[in-house]
Amino acid sequence: MVSRGNGSRLSRFVHSFKYASQGFCYLIRNEQNFLFHLIAGVFVLTAAVLLGFSTIKLTILLTVIGVMLSLEAINTGIERSIDLITEEEHPIAKTAKDVSAAAVFLFAIVSVIIGILLFFEPITHLIQS
């Protein structure tokens, strides 16, 4: 593992973007749920713009999408860390993985509810016109 504590503050700051982009690329290449949520987020944002969402509604939507993607990333980090610590199936390791996956699942449900609340009225108006 490369030491990330060397160099000037500016150098460490610049490198932090490099490491973050490597993590983002890993998620896109290796995590199908992250990729699904990313594609769904782009689709939903496109639909929101086409439906003329207000700045407030777009802000809510972007926040929900950002939190969803962040939770997927954190879940992956937790799972990979546990895999590094133990290769055997341990009940506590399983619980940690299951609970982090449950956090993603719970927010996915909340995201769908928020999406319905945000899109219901504009879609209803579109259908009626």
Q: Find out whether 118 and 129 touch, Cβ atoms under 8 Å.
A: no
Q: How far is CA 62 from the centre of its chain?
A: 11
Determine which one of 37, 72, 111, 118 is catalytic.
Answer: 72
Asked whether residue 121 is marked as a ligand-binding residue, the answer is no
Contacts of 115 (CB under 8 A, 6+ apart): 44, 61, 64
72 is catalytic: yes
Asked whether residue 72 is marked as a ligand-binding residue, the answer is yes
Asked whether residue 87 is marked as a ligand-binding residue, the answer is no
Asked whether residue 9 is marked as a ligand-binding residue, the answer is no
Asked whether residue 89 is marked as a ligand-binding residue, the answer is yes
d(CA 78, CA 27): 13
Binding residues for substrate: 12, 72
Binding residues for ATP: 12, 19, 31, 79, 88-90, 97-98
Binding residues: 12, 19, 31, 72, 79, 88-90, 97-98
Catalytic residues: 72
